[in-house]
Amino acid sequence: MTIAEFQKKIEQIYLERDSRRGLPGTFMWFVEEVGELSTALMGNDRSEMEGEFADVFAWLVSLASIAGVDMTAAVQKYADGCPSCHGTPCRCSDKSM
């Protein structure tokens, strides 16, 4: 599934409800999912991690849709490597990040 297909699928499933909730409420759900991902990463259970990564990505995409952001266009920021130094891998010092 492409990013565009995923964003469309998330819109079909959740956009109406998430739009009613609005950006602030939907953002709060996103933050909660990031917390759940943190817990999963510490637990080192691959299946749980995959599920939480999927949930975080779904909520992020939903936020983008509510805000009118096309995620396929947004990720182009990284198409040429690091947005700062354009390196792949990044050559920026850790202090500049």
Residue 61's CATH number: 1.10.287.1080
- CB proximity list for 22: less than 8 A, separation 6 or greater: 66
12-49 pLDDT per residue, tens: 999 999 999 999 999 999 999 999 999 999 998 999 99
Per-residue pLDDT at 94 exceeds 90: no
DSSP 44: T
- Domain ranges, residue 38: 3-96
pTM of the shown model: 0.90
Domain count, the chain: 1
Distance CA(46)–CA(32), nearest Å, equals: 19
